[in-house]
Amino acid sequence: MNELFRALPALLKEFEDNETVREAVTFAAWRRIAGESLLQHAVPFRLNQKRLTVAVKSETWRKHLENLSGQMIFKINSVLGQAVVTYIEFHIDEKAVERENLKDKKPVLSDEEYKEIALEEVTPKMRRSADAIKDDNLRYQFLLAAGGCLARKKKLK
């Protein structure tokens, strides 16, 4: 990932007239400097000329980030190797923040869905071996863990 961020300045120079590339690269730089916890409350929304618009969850976040905007501009431009952003405007749009954060999240399985998938992966031979476990709850937990492991391994292939 670090190599990708080191390539951003060259990418910007190569496509300096392309606003879409400039915006995408700037958004990537924002995400890099903001970090995971801040992205839960503030996401890049638009880049117009050298003005970056960031959607924030609340007035409190807007005020707090306005105080840090100078540092953020410096960090973004440092990552990009040129002055791509000269001003950051923060506007309150909780729905935009939530929408953007949902894009990055993988669907979470319910406990029942997880159990169903895990138990489908358990082989008959594994079930016969698990029968040696006398405690019913322990046997069930073992089969869930083994099936879950097999499901993840299958997914990785």
The pTM of the whole model exceeds 0.75: no
Do both 52 and 25 map to the same domain? yes
Do both 53 and 97 map to the same domain? yes
Whether 48 shows a pLDDT value over 90: the answer reads yes
pLDDT tier for residue 92 given thresholds of 50, 70 and 90: very high
Q: Is 39 exposed, middle or buried (0-12, 13-18, 19+ CB in 10 A)?
A: middle
Do both 132 and 94 map to the same domain? no
Mean pLDDT of the chain: 87
pLDDT tier for residue 35 given thresholds of 50, 70 and 90: confident
Do both 28 and 95 map to the same domain? yes
Overall number of domains in the chain: 2
Query: Is residue 74 helix, strand or coil?
Result: helix
Contacts of 4 (CB under 8 A, 6+ apart): none
Do both 89 and 117 map to the same domain? no
Average pLDDT of the residues in 98-110 = 74
| Domain of 6, in residue numbers | 2-104
Do both 99 and 143 map to the same domain? no
Do both 84 and 119 map to the same domain? no
Whether 34 shows a pLDDT value over 70: the answer reads yes
Angle at 38 between CA 32 and CA 41, to 5 degrees: 130
The residue whose two tokens read 């993840």 is 152
Tokens of 54: 């960031």
Handedness of CA 117, 119, 120, 125 (dihedral sign): positive
Do both 38 and 55 map to the same domain? yes
Do both 88 and 128 map to the same domain? no
User: What are the pLDDT digits (tens) for 106-119?
Assistant: 566 678 888 888 89
Q: What CATH number is attached to the domain comprising 47?
A: 3.30.300
Query: Is residue 43 helix, strand or coil?
Result: strand
Do both 91 and 123 map to the same domain? no
pLDDT attached to residue 108: 63
DSSP assigned state of 131: T
Tokens of 88: 């950051």
Residue of 91, 98, 106, 88 lying closest to 27 (CA atoms):
88
Higher pLDDT, 111 or 5: 111
Do both 38 and 18 map to the same domain? yes
Question: Domain boundary residue among 61, 81, 104?
Answer: 104
Do both 99 and 133 map to the same domain? no
- Is residue 74 a contact partner of residue 87, using CB atoms and an 8 Å limit? no
